[in-house]
Structure 1
Amino acid sequence: MPKSADEADKIEKAASAPAVAANEQARQAWRGWVIPAVGSMAFFSSMLINGFKNYQNYGFPAHTFTRSDWLLMSLPVVVVVVALSDIFLNGESYD
């Protein structure tokens, strides 16, 4: 038994230090994901709004794009599919 409340507080702080450090590390890892995600969402929403405005003014762009334009527009979809398949098929292990 600790002899005083001060000694008990010191023991409790020492025992909880690894959990506090692990929580802070997890917070920083998720924050490193959230900050770019916010910027990406802002860009994506701006892109969608401009796409809707263009659709209202000019209609669907089937008659304006060439094959290379369609190829360029499909690249983000391909990158996302490849990244997700790599994560889900191969898995991630941080042991």
Structure 2
Amino acid sequence: MKMFSDSYEQELLKQHRETYAKMLELVEQQAQKPPFIQQKDVSNYYKGISVGTLLRYERQGLKRSEPVEGGSVWYATSELDRFMLEHQK
């Protein structure tokens, strides 16, 4: 005895495959991410984000990591992801 129609089962299978593919893509992205990224390289991580945009994001709460003695500005990739998720529309 079947519980669902063939077309519904096919739709469930399609959705399952799409979800699996998306989860695999996210895991692969996570595995390739460095824990920190230099400010100048963020535009490669999030396409098209300029230093000026990052400074504006900092005023909105994005946290930066900077060596005590000065030097390059860094961001934790987890912090960038958190900020972007909290500010998505």
> TM-score with structure 1 length normalisation?
0.39
User: Whose helix fraction is larger, Structure 1's or Structure 2's?
Assistant: 1
> TM-score with structure 2 length normalisation?
0.40
- Which of structures 1 and 2 has the larger relative contact order (alpha carbons within 8 angstroms, sep 6+)? 2
User: Whose strand fraction is larger, Structure 1's or Structure 2's?
Assistant: 2
**Higher-Rg member (1/2):** 1
